[in-house]
Amino acid sequence: MHLYGKKNILFVKVSVIIPNYRHALYLKERIDSVLEQTYRDFEVIILDDCSPDDSREIIETYRTREKIAHIVYNERNSGSTFMQWQKGFDLAQGEYIWIAESDDFADPRFLSSCVEQLENEPSCTLAYTESRLVDAESRPMKKRMKGAYSKSSPCDMWDGHDFVLRNMLRCNTIYNASMVVFRKAAIPADKTYMQFRLNGDWLFWVEIALQGKVAHINAPYNNFRQHEVKVTQTSRTDGTGLAELLRLYDIFFSLIELPRRTRWAIEGRIIRHARRALRHVQNPIRHREIADMWHLRYPHMRQRIIWYKLYRHLFIPPRFIR
C-alpha cells in the first residue's frame, strides 16, 4: 500500500472518502463534483484499490488541489468494498463522513443540504438525499429506485427505529452510499457489515439509523450511475445476494423487536422476493443450493407469503411500507 498524505488537515467538519476501482471513465466527473460543493469545510481522501485502468494517472492530476488530504494506492486488490471504507474511516478527521463512490457525481448543493440537517439536529446520525439515476454518459434515466416513504416535506426527520421499520425492512432504500452523510461517531463498532460482500451497506445504514434520527431530504442531489461494471450485476446471477439475505435478516430481527405478526409478514415479503430473484441464478447446482438454504430456513414459505398479502391489505399495525 502506498499512502501519500499531502497536508495535515485538522478540524474539518466533513471527510469525503472516494473509494475507486477501475472507474477511470467517471473519476474526473466524480472528483470535480466533490471539489465544487458549495459547502467548503471538508477534506478529500482518495483510495484506489489497485485499478488496472488509467485511474492512477487521473488521480495524480489532483494531488496539488487544496482539499486533497490523502491519496492511497493499494499494491493489490483488496476484494472488498468495505475494507476500503474502513481504511477511509481510519484516515478521516471529520465529524461527518461522505462516501462518494467513484462512478457517481453530486449536485453542488449536496453537502450543504446534508450537513445542515446534521448540525440542526444533534441526535441525527444520518442524512441523505434522493438520487437521480444516470447512464454511463451521465444522461438522466427514466427508471427510478424504490425510495423511502415521504411525508411530502422538503426534509423528513425520522426516529431511527421508525425509519428502519417503515422503510429498511422491505428493501435497502438507502441504495447508494453516495447519497448519504453520517456521523463518524455512529460507525458500528462490531464491524459485522464487513463480513458481507454485497449487503454490508444495508446493515451499516440500519445500525447507524438505530442510534438516533434520520434526515431524508426530498431532493435529488445525488446522481447514481448505472453501467456494466457493477458488483450487483454478477451477484444477481451467482446467488451471492440471496445467500447473504438470509443472514442479513437474521441480524435485523435480532436488532429490532417486532410482534410475531409483523415478523411473519416481513418474512413473507422477502421470501416472495427471493423466489423471484432465484430465477436469475444461472448455474443449476448453485440454484438448487440457494433454494435448499431458503427452504431450510423458512419451511412454510407459502403460508408466510399469504400472511404478508393479508397484512398488507388489512393495514395491520405496525405498518411497514410495501
pLDDT digits (tens, 9 = 90+) for 7-49: 555 689 999 999 999 999 999 999 999 999 999 999 999 999 9
Q: What is the pLDDT confidence band of residue 94, given thresholds at 50, 70 and 90?
A: very high
C-alpha cell read off for 136 = 454511463
> pLDDT at position 146, please?
75
DSSP 8-class letter at 177: G
d(CA 69, CA 4) in angstroms, rounded, equals 9
What CA–CA distance (Å, rounded) separates 42 from 10?
A: 10
Q: Cβ(128)–Cβ(215) under 8 Å?
A: yes
- Tens digits of per-residue pLDDT, 192-206? 999 999 999 999 999
Predicted pLDDT at 256: 95
C-alpha cell at 303: 403460508
CB burial readout 222-236, b (16+ within 10 A) else e: bbbbeeeeeeeeebb
pLDDT given for residue 147 in this prediction: 78
Hunting for cell 449536485 — which residue is that? Answer: 107
- With cell 440454484, the residue in question is 287
Which set of grid coordinates corresponds to residue 227?
453501467
Tell me the CA distances in angstroms from 178 to 83, 104, 187, 298, one per residue in order: 17, 7, 16, 34
By the 8 A CB rule, do 303 and 310 touch? no
Which pLDDT score is estimated for 319?
Answer: 81
CA distances from 16 to 75, 218, 252, 290, 316 (A): 22, 22, 28, 38, 42
| pLDDT value for 317 | 83
Single pTM value for the model: 0.93
Q: What mean pLDDT do residues 55-71 have?
A: 97
Residue 304's H or E segment, with its range, is: helix 301-314
Of 3.30.1490.150, 3.90.550.10, 3.40.1500.10, 3.40.47.10, the CATH number of 2-229 is: 3.90.550.10
The separation between CA 306 and the C-alpha centre of its own chain, rounded to angstroms, equals: 30
Percent of the chain topping pLDDT 70 = 94
Backbone angles phi, psi at 129, to 5 degrees: -110, 170
DSSP 219-278: EEEEEEE--S--HHHHHHHHSHHHHHHHHHHHHHHHHS---HHHHHHHHHHHHHHHHHHG
